[in-house]
Amino acid sequence: MAEDNVLEHLYQVILSRRGADPAQSNTARLFAKGKKKIAQKLGEEAVETVIEGVKGDKDGVIAESADLLYHLLVLWAALDVKPDAVWDALRSREGISGIAEKAARPRD
């Protein structure tokens, strides 16, 4: 499964938790707390990822990155940001398209 499909799948699961029982779902609990709390939580996860990065703890960075991406997707869902809009924003950047063009060119 491509990495973006993992994120797409998790995003769909997160969307399905809208209106779910907060007692049964971590995501429903976050939605119930609101956008500000979700954004704050995302910030905390970012800081935790940075701390693991500064320590040079690869496993820590992996675990915190998973938490970070999950909370980022919850924020997107809370604000009705579609993953495609973010993928399009990434693709539209010169650096990314430059890399893609370079990879497509035959070697000299």
Ligand X SMILES: N=c1c2ncn([C@@H]3O[C@H](COP(=O)(O)OP(=O)(O)OP(=O)(O)O)[C@@H](O)[C@H]3O)c2ncn1[C@@H]1O[C@H](COP(=O)(O)O)[C@@H](O)[C@H]1O
Interface contacts to ligand X, rule CB under 6 A: 13, 17, 25-28, 66-67, 70
Of 25 and 49, CB closest to ligand X:
25
The answer to whether the CB of 27 falls within 8 A of the CB of 73 is no
Q: Residue with CB nearest ligand X? A: 27
Of 40 and 97, CB closest to ligand X:
40
Least distance from ligand X to the Cβ atom of residue 38, Å: 10
Least distance from ligand X to the Cβ atom of residue 39, Å: 13
Sign of CA dihedral 91, 96, 102, 104: negative
DSSP 39-76: HHHHHHHHHHHHHHHHHT-HHHHHHHHHHHHHHHHHHH
Least distance from ligand X to the Cβ atom of residue 70, Å: 4
Least distance from ligand X to the Cβ atom of residue 4, Å: 16
Of 55 and 93, CB closest to ligand X:
55
Of 16 and 97, CB closest to ligand X:
16
Measured CA to CA, the distance from residue 12 to residue 77 in angstroms comes to 9
